[in-house]
Structure 1
Amino acid sequence: MRSSLLIMTMLLGSGLGACTQTSPPPAAADVPAGVSPLAQARIQMREVAAEAGGSNSTTLTDRDGNALPLLEPAFITTSDIASVAVGTDGHNGQDTLVLRFTDAAAPRILAATEARVGKRVAFTIGDQVLNVAVIAGPFAQSMQVTGLDGSDEAHRLFTEITGKAP
């Protein structure tokens, strides 16, 4: 099974809340400037259901072809995202996606991630599951998506989300 990472960081002075911690979070000044996502990008983060078939779940297929039941509603959506940028993973130097959340969404995202510590979540764009990870700590201001299939995928996703070249 393909292993992917999704790192989520708070970018506040208080440190890291991560799904999978592989390196320290970038300092707020190190996060690249971003571009607003397209409204039609359909970015979502949802909790993975314990089993399929619930009335409040949607089933998508992960990168390995496995059915993945996701609870509705999503706790992060495109409208919660202020900007998207291509960044660099400080641990391995690979390109990542960095999403900054709106100030209005941050308290709700913090509450949602606090409630989901230890639970599996899926980050999706449209019907494509990019990553599945376990939330190790809450976050509110931004998150970094790692474990992508190289720079080409990071750049393709950035363009898909923003309509612009990185």
Structure 2
Amino acid sequence: MPSFSGAYKSEFEQAWNESESDFVHEVIADQEITDEEWAEVATRISKCVESKGMTFKGFLDDGGYEVDTGSLSGDEANALLPACEDESGETWLNHLRRQLASNPDNTPAEERVVQCLIRNSVVAGDYTAEDYLKDAPQQSFPYLEPDTGIDGLRACSANPDVDLSTQ
């Protein structure tokens, strides 16, 4: 195993240790997933899916992907797809690629949500991740605008990079 370092050290180590794929090992050895490597994942999953009678229609922006199941039922397709995800490296590489792109410093989720809430004026600027963790169980957030605060919280929870002024 390479000597991984940086913000995603443990995630790369886990992928290395738990994946039995030489392809996954090859890709993550340098701790990045290039566009070329991601295109190879698409090629591999497409070939696997086609071998099972389906058509790979591509990756979606949210990290998922679409397939045309052909004559297979949804249940039949869902039973076959995990093998293609593993075989292609998608299982490990999709998650790592998305995390590296959206959160390069591996900032904890609650900190990212709080940064979003502050940036979008949902809560006051002195609100902290500790406050968020304390308020979350009771859903007792100190919204600046009580009538719309919950909408801001939902948006920031779904996508901490959201800009509510454009919505």
Category of TM-score, reference length = shorter chain: under 0.3
Q: Which has the higher contact order (CA 8 A, sep 6+)?
A: 1
Q: Give the TM-score, by structure 2 length.
A: 0.22
Which structure: larger Rg?
2
Q: Give the TM-score, by structure 1 length.
A: 0.22
